Amino acid sequence: MVATSGFRQFVILLYKGLLLRKRHYIVTFFELVIPVFVASILCIIQAQQTVYSDDRDFLGRRKGNLWEDYATYEPFDIFETAQHQRLDVEFVFTPNNDFTRKFVEDSVEFFRRRSNFMLGRTGVKGAPSEKELERYCVQQQRDDPYKLYVGTVFQNFGDELPTSLDYKIRHNP
């Protein structure tokens, strides 16, 4: 017997199978197309998931959210929303260091210019930890329910700007 490589043997087996299948080409076509078609339908259905929550409260107002999928909410423009609100806004952040404070103050200034937020006042406050940030926001919200608090927890944020910004936003509705 002639010595051949494993790849050559594999190609010979494929060619032999092709010669046998040539007689039944219609069956071969359906054996290949039907599983691919069924699998692609399942992928398309899963990709098109939309969950609608159309619960209404006793006044007929819509409560709940329209979820585009389980991870993202319907987008809205925070700059457009801020123009119509007459609330004071306080931006609370952690960790409380000079670099983070400068970053947040620059972001708040950008927010003021972009949204024309002139009706209310904005403030910036640092917190030493995430627990302190949450505790401060909850306490202040109880004292002044008409003020809006936006908390931001920066992860891996030292004395210089990281290459990837990792953060959590704490926002009261």
Clarify whether residues 145 and 80 are in a common domain.
yes
Residue 135 lies in a domain: yes
Say yes or no to pLDDT of 149 above 90: no
Residue 46: domain span: 6-53
Half-sphere exposure of 65 (CA within 13 A, CB side): 11
The contacts of residue 148 (CB under 8 Å, 6+ apart) are 85, 87, 88, 89, 90, 172
- Flag whether pLDDT at 23 surpasses 70: yes
Quick one: pLDDT at residue 56? 60
What is the reported pTM?
0.51
Whether 105 and 24 share a structural domain = no
User: Over 60: is that where the pLDDT of 106 sits?
Assistant: yes
- Do 105 and 145 share a domain, yes or no? yes
Counted domains in the chain: 2
Residues 34 and 92 in one domain: no
CA angle 29, 32, 33 (to 5 degrees): 80
Q: Residues 82, 144: one domain?
A: yes
Sign of CA dihedral 97, 98, 100, 101: positive
Check whether 152 has a pLDDT greater than 60. Answer: yes
Q: What is the pLDDT of residue 36?
A: 94
Q: Is 58 contained in some domain?
A: no
Nearest-angstrom CA–CA distance, 46 and 40: 10
90 near 146, Cβ under 8 Å? no
- pLDDT band of residue 18 (cuts 50, 70, 90) is confident
**Average pLDDT score over the chain:** 77
- Across the range 163-168, mean pLDDT stands at 82
Residue 84 lies in a domain: yes
Q: What percent of the chain has pLDDT over 70?
A: 72
| pLDDT at residue 68, as a whole number | 46
In a domain, 166, yes or no: yes
